[in-house]
Structure 1
Amino acid sequence: MINGAVPVKFIDPKIDFAFKKIFGSEDARDILISFLESLLGLEGDRRIAEVTILDPFLAPKIKNFKYSILDVTCRDQRGVSYIVEMQVQKAVAFLKRIQYNAAKAYVHQIEKGEDYPRLNQVIAVTITDFPLFNGFDHCVSRHESRETVTGQPFLQEILHYFIELPKFTVPLEELTHVLDQWIYFIKFAGTLEAIPDKIRVEPIRHAFEKARVANMTPEEYELYEKAGMAIADTQGAVQWAREEGILIGERRGEQRGIQIGEQRGIQIGEQKGRQEEAASLLLKQIRRKLGQVPGWVTAKVTAATLFQIEAWSENILFAHSFEDVFSLGPNDRDTNP
């Protein structure tokens, strides 16, 4: 509690549902504008006058789940598109998916036969709750295409910004920049009991108000808790699989009695342990979403590779049937709510 204030409970912005409620609401566009301007360094006539938020909350008729949640996507008065995503845990081909989504947003601005000059810049903003890039310690990084000899940025149509929360170490008393205050909010709001006096930026204080549990409907809070439980389940499964795999690998390595055998045993054991736990978790998610799991689904999941299981896990939220779990691709997930 800060300065004797009455304790307040805030939702954690790092949880997908909470992030989109705070940054993707039409009645709180000042929040998204302030965050983007501070991150991109937009000043003067480059500031965002207005944004059109493409609703990240869709309400399809999906059994046992009320909403599908997409990235926070908006467009400013100049036509520039922004894709903002919060990612709590690593996923297979994560960076490839980020680039794919940005490229898709770029090309989908025009229909076949329309003129290329109508294409506008796309800026992808990705916030991760895990270290993503090795080789540097700063938490905010910008990635663009440059000519290798001159270093000139001739290709600026698609830009990527990343915020790696574990690399953010600025203490509360040293929060002088607006961007630092935003990152502090995203990283720590879920653990606070009051709005810090140090934070005076009005849109950030608005974000805290938006994050108050007391301001949520019972239905919203239930969805928020389910999203948090899903993250905890997945993280726990990964940790268990890692520890179990190492133990199995060590046993096999010791039995062989040689270093090469030990290393190979660790690799095999870890992979097998991860695969089994991932399969168990996926079947649990399928059962929650679609009901009783038929035998053919169980057989298909338990026989699958870890890569296949992780790919299918991304389809759960958007699946209408058991077949959808195994067949939906990125385009299908976007267009079949």
Structure 2
Amino acid sequence: MNFLDVKTDYAFKKVFGSDTSKDILISFLNALIYDNRKNKIKDLEIVDPYNIPMIKGVKDTFVDVKALLDDDTKVIIEMQVLNHTGFEKRVLYNAAKNYSIQLNKSEDYHLLNPVIALSIVDFTMFKDTKEIITNFKLIEKEQLIEYNDDIELIFVELPKFKKELEQLENIKDQWIYFIKNAGSLEYIPQTLNPNIKEALDTVNEANLTKEELETQHKRKEFISIQKLALLKADKDGFDKGMSKGLEKGIEQGIEQGIEKGIEKGKLESAYVMIKDFNLSVEDVASKMEISVETLKEYIKSVKN
């Protein structure tokens, strides 16, 4: 058997964001958000379900999986493979935006419902802790008094998860293992929870259409291009930084060089995304956190 890599946004949304994903998503969120304490989530509604058969190319993949829980809490779930500059600010911005847009004009603030942003990342964000799952809330910094639970940010850092199949202790371990390793599995382990077995069946390549497999291939290729661009940006930034450092001081030169190199790498990556994947300038600029004007100027300079 071969399975899709669930770390790609296409496969991730096929598992968790389609019309048939409710039971799978309930199990997943109960395990990662509530640590299966009395299975707090009994029911949910997937907001704007991801209609897999309607996907054409990669333009439609800039969407989070969103769920409205039975207590009216909204959960935003995102799988992020690349550590783009400003990612942590984007997570906070999206959570705050989803919190604020709940009210219409003149409605009372007490009508606001909690928002949870759950981000699964394939890179290390918090090097000062070994914890795989970190949870952030508004809290008083001296006495650690919670302000409220209305905005909550949860991060799952996959590189910190080292357990093998035989070491999995609970359903939380199983779900993290599934996301990290589904693409390299050759069979469905019988020790896994039934919902996770169903999730694996969903991404079993034998059950997919030619169009779905082609879309997944494009997504993996797209991610590979971005990874190479980021690596090139790091190298260019370091090289330029060292060069400037010889002229103006090593410390200042490296800092400026890295900054310029990363910016150039982002522009190069954005240009490839637009040219090879038929994406709009506006979509790519938003995803890469580049101004539309800057990106248009770069494209114009390349074509000239």
TM-score bracket, shorter-length normalisation: 0.7 to 0.9
Equivalent-residue separation in structure 1 for 2:263 and 2:295 (angstroms): 17
- The equivalent of 1:329 in structure 2 is none
Task: Say whether the 8 Å CA contact 2:6–2:183 is kept in structure 1.
Answer: yes
- The equivalent of 1:12 in structure 2 is 5
Helix, strand or coil at the partner of 1:154: strand
> Structure 1: any 5+ residue segments left out of the alignment?
1-7, 298-308, 317-321, 327-337
Instruction: Encode CA deviations 1:265-316: one digit per residue, 9 max, x unaligned.
Output: 444444444444433332222223559x9xxx9xxxxxxxxxxx99826279
Q: TM-score, normalised by structure 2?
A: 0.84
Q: Is 1:287 aligned to residue 279 of structure 2?
A: no
Equivalent-residue separation in structure 2 for 1:10 and 1:154 (angstroms): 43
Map residues 1-337 of structure 1 onto 2, 5 A cutoff.
8-39=1-32, 40-44=34-38, 47-55=40-48, 57=50, 65=58, 67-199=60-192, 201-250=193-242, 253=245, 261-289=249-277, 312=285, 314=287
Task: Say whether the 8 Å CA contact 1:145–1:155 is kept in structure 2.
Answer: yes
Equivalent-residue separation in structure 2 for 1:62 and 1:140 (angstroms): 32
- The equivalent of 2:302 in structure 1 is none
> Structure 2: any 5+ residue segments left out of the alignment?
297-304
The amino acid across from 1:314 in the alignment is K
Q: TM-score, normalised by structure 1?
A: 0.76
Equivalent-residue separation in structure 2 for 1:325 and 1:52 (angstroms): 37
Q: CA deviation at 1:139?
A: 0.5
Q: CA deviation at 1:149?
A: 4.4
Q: CA deviation at 1:214?
A: 1.7
- The equivalent of 1:305 in structure 2 is none
Against the structure 1 CA distance between its residues 69 and 58, is the aligned structure 2 distance closer, same or farther, given a 3 Å change threshold?
A: farther
Deviates more, 1:228-237 or 1:260-269: 260-269
Aligned length: 292
Q: CA deviation at 1:229?
A: 0.9
Helix, strand or coil at the partner of 2:150: strand
Instruction: Encode CA deviations 1:177-220: one digit per residue, 9 max, x unaligned.
Output: 11011000000111111122332x11111111111112222222
Against the structure 1 CA distance between its residues 110 and 273, is the aligned structure 2 distance closer, same or farther, given a 3 Å change threshold?
A: closer
Equivalent-residue separation in structure 2 for 1:323 and 1:269 (angstroms): 22
Q: CA deviation at 1:76?
A: 1.5
